[in-house]
Amino acid sequence: MIVDETMDIKNRKVLNILVGPLNPEAKTRLVTTRFLDKCDSSTVANAILDCLSSISLDRQHLVCLKSDNAPYMIAAGRILQSLCPRYKLVREF
């Protein structure tokens, strides 16, 4: 799963969530785009869990989350670690 928060042309906070297999050659797919009132760790973690549910994936299938080093993303990763047994945060952006 790849998660990125940005601003759109209207200065709205936008959270994009992409999902793909662990194969580095496989393509990821945009699963959801959310417009947020606030972007904090619980909002991001809930959006990720909602996304998994919307595509009928069990939490055990979330193996890693690729995101930046923003403190709220790291905190969201810590929330997910307690809920997803195989999860690991990968910070690369």
Per residue in 13-35, pLDDT (tens digit) is 999 998 888 777 888 899 999 99
**pTM as predicted:** 0.81
Tell me the average pLDDT across 62-91.
80
Q: What is the residue extent of each domain of the chain?
A: 2-91
Mean pLDDT taken over the chain: 85
Judged against a pLDDT cut of 80, whether residue 72 lies above it is answered with: yes
CB hemisphere CA count around 23 (13 angstroms): 5
Per residue in 39-57, pLDDT (tens digit) is 899 999 999 999 889 988 8
Neighbours of 61 (CB within 10 A): 14
Nearest in space to 91 (alpha carbons), one of 8, 3, 10, 23:
3
- DSSP 8-state assignment for residue 13: E
User: Is the CATH number of domain 2-91 3.30.420.10?
Assistant: yes
